[in-house]
């Protein structure tokens, strides 16, 4: 009889309706939401999944949660959109293109339109309340206008070329912020200063700073396993690089337009307290980097005006001395 009861309970599960509260496992991230939210957009992929009658056809994880093999971090914005059909992104959101691809996968055409860049008649990005980097576009446009006016006004070729070359580096540095890299280095002194002594050994290079800025500078060489769910606008001190060469990290920072503004290091100390010939010393060092920004064009104009004024005064005094006037 017990087996018959179990069979009778299991049989209706094929036509079992979805519960009011649904747990989702999206790429390892767990989300809990209401069933009406998932079916709020007719024709979407989630609507197709959670309106079918056969619940057994949906994939589940080991804990019985419905599993979706997509980006777990970006799904939060998909779910937010399905709640009220509105899109709100954080400032300096760097994953806009990837989120648009996720919206296409989940069959959300209106969200895809919201994420698409809007161009005005002048082929410039128009007013869009969901633009991820509104503050980054206007400085570049202002810089271009300043450089155009400076090149038209300057007649001194070396200064003009220097100002234009300096301003040309502006678009490469789109964001500003500090990045700190640190490492703990060890040094092994061989017996009697032998030639096979090991020199600097770096086990890991840590990266501290804003998440979006660190990803932009180091790209795929950044290991995010210690802090995978950090939002782009937040700061972290748990990232580290996949390589252990300091010079390689310096090259990447230099290519991104950064220069070192400060550094500090602890004194070397031995691991062991006993005084032996073979000693292993360790120290911790940090380097602070900040983007290099050349002088704006209007500052060059002011300097040139001052130089021209000084030259005019100098020539005037020479003429006065030439004609015998004091």
pLDDT tens readout for residues 13-32: 444 588 889 999 998 889 99
Model confidence pLDDT, tens digit, residues 131-161 = 444 433 344 444 444 444 444 444 443 443 3
Question: Between 322 and 213, whose confidence is greater?
Answer: 213
For the chain, the straight-line distance linking the first and the last C-alpha, in angstroms and rounded, comes to 125
Distance CA 19, CA 35 (A): 7
User: ∠ CA(250), CA(251), CA(256), 5° rounding?
Assistant: 100
Pick from 87-101, 119-133, 202-216, 239-253: least confident: 119-133
Question: Residue 241: what pLDDT?
Answer: 94
**Are 80 and 211 part of one and the same domain?**
no
**Are 164 and 312 part of one and the same domain?**
yes
Quick check: pTM over 0.75? no
Q: Taking a C-beta distance cutoff of 8 angstroms, is the pair 294, 165 a contact? A: no
Distance CA 99, CA 55 (A): 28
Domain with 243, as residue range(s), is: 179-291
- Assigned domain for 128 exists: no
**Are 157 and 302 part of one and the same domain?**
yes
Half-sphere exposure of 301 (CA within 13 A, CB side): 11
- Assigned domain for 208 exists: yes
- Assigned domain for 202 exists: yes
Question: Residue 25: what pLDDT?
Answer: 93
């Amino acid at each position: 009889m017990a087996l018959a009861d179990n069979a009778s309970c299991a049989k209706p599960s094929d036509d079992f309706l979805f519960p009011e509260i649904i747990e989702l496992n999206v790429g390892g991230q767990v989300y809990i939401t209401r069933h009406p939210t998932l079916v709020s957009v007719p024709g979407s992929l989630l609507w197709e999944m959670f309106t079918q009658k056969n619940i057994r056809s949906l994939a589940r994880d080991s804990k019985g949660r419905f599993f979706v093999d997509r980006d777990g971090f970006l799904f939060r914005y998909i779910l937010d959109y399905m709640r009220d059909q509105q899109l709100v992104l954080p400032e300096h959101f760097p994953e806009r293109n990837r989120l648009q691809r996720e919206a296409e996968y989940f069959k959300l055409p209106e969200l895809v339109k919201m994420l698409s860049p809007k161009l005005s008649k002048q082929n410039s990005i128009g007013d869009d309340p969901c633009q991820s980097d509104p503050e980054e576009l206007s400085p570049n446009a202002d810089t271009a206008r300043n450089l155009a006016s400076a090149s038209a006004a300057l007649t001194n070729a070396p200064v003009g070329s220097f100002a234009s070359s300096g301003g040309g580096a502006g678009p490469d540095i789109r964001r500003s912020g500090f990045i700190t890299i640190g490492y703990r280095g060890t040094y092994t002194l061989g017996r009697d200063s032998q030639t096979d002594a090991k020199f600097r050994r770096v086990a890991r290079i840590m990266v501290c700073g804003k998440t979006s800025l660190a990803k932009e500078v180091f790209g795929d060489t950044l290991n995010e396993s210690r802090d995978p769910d950090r939002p782009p606008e937040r700061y972290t001190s748990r990232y580290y690089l996949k390589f252990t060469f300091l010079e390689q990290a310096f090259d990447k920072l230099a290519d991104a337009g950064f220069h070192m503004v400060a550094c500090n290091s602890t004194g070397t100390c031995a691991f062991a307290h006993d005084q032996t010939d073979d000693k292993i010393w360790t120290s911790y060092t940090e380097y602070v980097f900040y983007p290099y920004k050349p002088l704006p064009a209007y500052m060059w104009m002011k300097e040139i005006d001052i130089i021209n004024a000084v030259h005019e005064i100098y020539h005037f005094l020479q003429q006065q001395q030439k004609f015998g006037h004091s």
